[in-house]
Amino acid sequence: MTAGVTLLLWLEPAAPGWSRTTLLMAESARAVESVQIEYLAPGAPGAASDYDCLVMPGGQCVWRPSGPQVRLAVVGSDGPMPEAQARQLLAVFGNLTQRHGLDLGRVWLHPGSDARLHPELPVAAHDLCALLVRKGVIR
């Protein structure tokens, strides 16, 4: 193998888009069938308990599934979406597609959290929308 090919293979990610693993899945009999993603403004009172999955700005993931239809919230931060949060969110979807066979066609961004429809949303919501579109999670 030439040095150039070796270098290119070394630079290539280990897994397509989902190189990090996350231990958010308890082995369960129920498969996840659909995911609704919402942007949750920082400090939103009492709303966190309404979600099956919370992806925090620091990259932590709180997972408490209640059924095959998952409500996922990306908890906002001041300023742009933190890199650790973006990596964790992609890891969540990687896990759902690889372990549970989730069809990304059954994933959608709640209209109230879609920065394409609501340009007045904070920059973190715009980053969330752009990330999901760029990675092919939503259309």
Domains of the chain with CATH codes: 29-134 (3.40.80.10)
Cα distance between residue 127 and residue 105, in whole Å: 21
Average pLDDT over residues 33-59: 87
Q: Which positions ≥6 away from 42 have C-beta within 8 Å?
A: 57, 75, 76, 77, 78
Q: For position 11, what pLDDT does the model report?
A: 59
Q: For position 16, what pLDDT does the model report?
A: 43
Contact 110, 69 (CB under 8 A): no
Q: Among 31-45, 65-79, 101-115, 116-130, whose mean pLDDT is lowest?
A: 31-45
Closest CA to 93 of 139, 132, 38, 40: 132
Higher pLDDT, 49 or 86: 86
46: confidence class by pLDDT, cuts 50, 70, 90: low
Q: Order of strands, edge to edge, in the sheet holding 107-109?
A: 61-63, 53-55, 69-75, 34-40, 107-109
